[in-house]
Amino acid sequence: MPALPPLVTMDSPGEFELLADYFEGQIDLKAFRGRFQHYKVLMANPLILEAEKNAYIYLEKFGGLVFWNCSPAVIETLHQELAELQTMGERIDRVRDKLKVQVGSDADRVGFSEVWLRELTIEKLKIVSLALAQSVALDYFEGSVKNAMVRFQPVMRGLSQHGKLFLSRHETLKSIGFAMEVRAAVLDNLTLFDRPPETWESESLAHLDRALFDHFDIEERHGAIEQKLAYLSDAGARIMDVLTTRRNHQLEWIVIILIAIEVVVFFWE
């Protein structure tokens, strides 16, 4: 496919303020395009919209969205429109990130808090936006997994210190259910974290993508989440084994008591 013309070139340098948000759940990009047709579409998947001159919106199906130089009114309108989609959850207020992009540099490079680009193309806008959207999504997943780990701590502490489950069966099952629900949601979304196909076709785009990946620690954070999910899965399975064994012991004692009662009644009669 032929390359699209740059949105901003070295001849017309500019500065972009990026704001990234995360919505719980997955965005139905096709449904959004069908319902809100007042935006100019620059790319269908991921969905890149031109909100106004030199202002762009990037929407990724795993719930991440990135605003490029968008006014507060545009941001608020987009939030309301996403909230109207039946498949969407609420915006997560605690996960939000910002980034500054300078266009007109002599080379593409990633700094501590800024990204410098020779020119802004659709491909570069996509790569920068994807990394920032993945970062805020990981923020949300990290918080969810942390909550699951916290709810598991009393259960695991009782097992490690006393060899017993001090919580009731109901509370223990609620903790396991919450952890497994978080695990399923995270795994369902992390599978969407594919590398942009453009990086396979351009060495310069591949370098930019790798620099952004390293800047946001995407790979390390992703790996840490998967390790914690594996722990939750293993811990949940072990606790279920303990509950099953305890239940079996209870049933055995019930049977023994019933038999004893029958014997006593038999001799009494």
Confidence at residue 99, expressed as pLDDT on a 0 to 100 scale:
93
Percent of the chain with pLDDT over 70: 72
pLDDT tens sequence across 14-37: 889 999 999 887 788 888 888 888
Confidence at residue 2, expressed as pLDDT on a 0 to 100 scale:
43
Over 90: is that where the pLDDT of 91 sits? no
Confidence at residue 1, expressed as pLDDT on a 0 to 100 scale:
41
pLDDT confidence band for 161 (50 / 70 / 90):
low
| Domain range 14-121, its CATH number among 1.10.357, 3.40.390, 3.30.310, 3.40.50 | 3.30.310
Domain boundaries, the chain: 14-121, 136-268
Q: What is the mean pLDDT of residues 117-146?
A: 90
Is the model more confident about 240 or about 29?
29
Of the candidates 77, 124, 135, the residue with the CA atom closest to the CA atom of residue 102: 124
pTM for the structure as a whole: 0.78
pLDDT confidence band for 90 (50 / 70 / 90):
low
Q: What is the mean pLDDT of residues 90-101?
A: 81
